[in-house]
């Protein structure tokens, strides 16, 4: 989850949202971590298609320590391990993003054995009611959900300790947690994978190198869900024309979904975005001639496109596309609408996906922990933490200008011929557009002369959390199964 804060320059294209609903910070205070409770271990069985899937769930706090061996934080984990698993069964560590987001999004949103019941658009139908997930990835791999420090129930021992709210410290803490879990559960010989959403996708792209070099853990692969791999691809400015081009197909798919544009083939959109449109961005004298075609694709008025010189910020698109109907569209899914407050033409400060789903996610994860997994500890589950997000330190990438995991991925792909990457996006996600990742994958393939199958890319109907849509979830489950079996 990319959590949108005004203090993060790399995310300034997206409006600030409120997380005052359940699961957000209370007075932005970081509570002191309690004493480490004993793990809760329970046995379960669910029906997947015509087969029964038996597994063990393990909920626990992992202790993170400093160089002196003192416990500095507790990191909350939920693991699902299939019964009678063979030694070659994969284990996948999953995380969300933000920074400041807990793993409940992937956990009860679309990947775990129980998920929130949703409608065809992927919106919760009953305030967090849980159902058995027919598309759970547990059918293909054991799952370990990680809540980075400051999210979920993960806390520092000292309430004012912000050492983990840093890009490098965060990655190191997650690497420590993975190392601890594999060692404690005697799973070092298992195929190990990562999966991360949004900024979690950055984590899942940057961590393989650290795990390889610093921990001696070789990964089978990593799964990047709606990722931001290189922040330059989503930072819009006149001097960075590529970022505008990457957005165009997602705008077009959203407009077509509201019958404001003719549906267009994704590859045709890609070609137009990276050729005609990109040339007009580089050579502004060509843009005027392109405005009628841009209006046809995006459903936007030519006057707005002319005013913006063909460069339409996400905030303009979401508030202008359906303004005549007094509606705005979500930045997280351009197909989902909500009333436009007071016909405002500027940035909306709420989002029906990010904000509107918060109660369902918090209710869903707490219900799961208490009623199914026998974990009664704690009630303040931090789904999104504004204080973590505001305190986050990204560090500097002097040679690239923006935080990027491309070189990390390139190094692991170069050193380990068995390492594979699966990148996936929703077609109407306006926060992390799919074309950015597809283009980055092409650059990696070209630079390293990679064989087919090492970099896999897929698009699905829906937005940032496309996995909450039943149609996308079923398609994704099949593709994930192929990825783990290398078909």
Q: Residue 245 domain-assigned?
A: yes
Q: Residue 2 domain-assigned?
A: no
Q: How far apart are the first and last CA of the chain?
A: 29
Are 257 and 428 in contact, with CB atoms under 8 Å apart?
yes
Domain-ending residue, one of 308, 343, 378: 343
CA 292 to chain CA centroid, nearest Å: 34
Give strand pairing partners of 45.
54
Decide if pLDDT at 25 tops 90: no
- Tokens for 8, please give them: 């993060």
Spatial CB neighbours of 375, under 8 Å, sequence gap ≥ 6:
40, 59, 369
Residues 327, 361: one domain?
no
Q: Residue 349 domain-assigned?
A: no
User: pTM here?
Assistant: 0.91
**Number of independent structural domains in the chain:** 2
Residue labelled with tokens 């709420």: 350
3-state DSSP assignment of residue 438 = helix
Decide if pLDDT at 344 tops 80: no
Buried b (16+ CB within 10 A) or exposed e, 95-123: bbbbbbbbbbbbbbbbbbbbbbebeebbb
3-state DSSP assignment of residue 479 = helix
Q: Residue 352 domain-assigned?
A: no
Residues 58, 194: one domain?
yes
pLDDT at site 2: 55
Report the run of H or E that residue 297 belongs to, with start and end.
helix 287-298
Are 438 and 254 in contact, with CB atoms under 8 Å apart?
no
Range of the domain at 391: 9-231+357-485
Residues 194, 245: one domain?
no
- Tokens for 397, please give them: 């990438």
Are 142 and 400 in contact, with CB atoms under 8 Å apart?
no
Residue labelled with tokens 């910070």: 25
Residues 441, 370: one domain?
yes
Residue 225: which CATH number?
3.40.50.1820
Are 383 and 129 in contact, with CB atoms under 8 Å apart?
no
Report the run of H or E that residue 175 belongs to, with start and end.
helix 167-184
Domain-ending residue, one of 282, 316, 343: 343
Residues 72, 195: one domain?
yes
Residues 448, 313: one domain?
no
pLDDT per residue as tens digits for the range 96-147:
999 999 999 999 999 999 999 999 999 999 888 999 999 999 999 999 999 9
pLDDT band at 346 (very low <50, low <70, confident <90, very high): low
Residues 25, 147: one domain?
yes
Q: Residue 4 domain-assigned?
A: no
Are 80 and 141 in contact, with CB atoms under 8 Å apart?
no
pLDDT per residue as tens digits for the range 33-62:
456 889 999 999 999 888 999 999 999 999
pLDDT per residue as tens digits for the range 245-273:
999 999 999 999 999 999 989 999 999 99
Domain-ending residue, one of 343, 375, 397: 343
Residues 389, 320: one domain?
no
Residues 72, 140: one domain?
yes
CA 440 to chain CA centroid, nearest Å: 17
Decide if pLDDT at 18 tops 80: no
Residues 312, 224: one domain?
no
- Tokens for 324, please give them: 């005549």
Decide if pLDDT at 7 tops 90: no
Residues 258, 167: one domain?
no
In angstroms, the CA 254 to CA 323 distance is: 14
Residues 45, 109: one domain?
yes
Please count the other Cβ atoms lying within 10 Å of the Cβ belonging to residue 234.
24
């Amino acid at each position: 989850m990319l959590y949108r804060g005004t203090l993060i320059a790399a995310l300034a294209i997206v409006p600030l949202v409120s997380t005052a609903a359940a699961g957000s910070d209370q007075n932005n205070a970081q509570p002191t971590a309690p004493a480490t409770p004993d793990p809760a271990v329970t046995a379960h069985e669910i029906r997947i298609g015509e087969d029964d899937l038996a597994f063990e769930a393990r909920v626990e706090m992992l202790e993170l320590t400093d160089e002196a061996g003192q416990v500095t934080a507790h990191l909350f984990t939920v693991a699902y391990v299939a019964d009678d698993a063979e030694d070659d069964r994969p284990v996948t560590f999953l995380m969300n993003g933000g920074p400041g987001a807990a793993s409940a999004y992937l956990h009860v949103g679309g990947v775990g054995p129980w998920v929130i019941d949703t409608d065809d658009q992927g919106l919760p139908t009953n305030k967090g009611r849980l159902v058995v997930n027919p598309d759970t990835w547990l059918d293909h791999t054991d799952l370990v959900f990680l809540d980075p420090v400051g999210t979920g129930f993960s806390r520092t021992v000292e309430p004012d300790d912000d050492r983990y709210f840093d890009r490098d410290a965060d990655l190191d803490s997650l690497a420590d947690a993975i190392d601890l879990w594999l060692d404690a559960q005697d799973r070092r010989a298992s195929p190990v994978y990562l999966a991360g959403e949004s900024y979690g996708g950055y984590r899942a792209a940057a961590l393989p190198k650290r795990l390889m070099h610093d921990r001696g853990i070789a990964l089978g692969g990593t799964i990047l869900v709606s990722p931001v791999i290189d922040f330059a691809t989503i930072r819009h400015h006149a001097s960075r024309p590529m970022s505008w081009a990457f957005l165009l197909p997602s705008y077009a798919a959203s407009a077509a979904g509201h019958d404001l544009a003719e549906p267009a083939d994704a590859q045709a959109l890609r070609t137009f975005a990276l050729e005609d449109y990109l040339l007009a961005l580089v050579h502004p004298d060509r843009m005027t001639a392109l405005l009628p075609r841009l209006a046809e694709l995006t459903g936007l008025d030519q006057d707005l496109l002319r005013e913006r010189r063909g460069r339409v910020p996400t905030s303009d698109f979401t508030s202008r596309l359906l303004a005549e109907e007094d509606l705005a569209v979500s930045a997280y899914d351009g197909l989902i609408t909500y009333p436009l407050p007071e016909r405002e033409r500027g940035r909306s400060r709420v989002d029906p996906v990010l904000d509107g789903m918060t109660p369902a996610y918090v209710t869903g994860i707490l219900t799961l922990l208490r009623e199914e997994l026998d974990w009664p500890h704690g009630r303040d589950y931090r789904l999104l933490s504004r204080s973590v997000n505001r305190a986050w330190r990204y560090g500097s990438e002097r040679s690239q200008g923006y935080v990027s995991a491309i070189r990390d991925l390139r190094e692991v792909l170069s050193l380990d011929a068995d390492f594979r990457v699966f990148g996936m996006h929703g077609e109407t996600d306006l926060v992390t557009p799919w074309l950015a990742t597809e283009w980055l994958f092409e650059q990696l393939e070209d630079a390293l002369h990679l064989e087919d199958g090492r970099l896999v890319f897929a698009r699905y109907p829906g937005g940032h959390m496309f996995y909450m849509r039943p149609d996308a979830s079923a398609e994704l489950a099949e593709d994930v199964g192929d990825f783990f079996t290398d078909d």
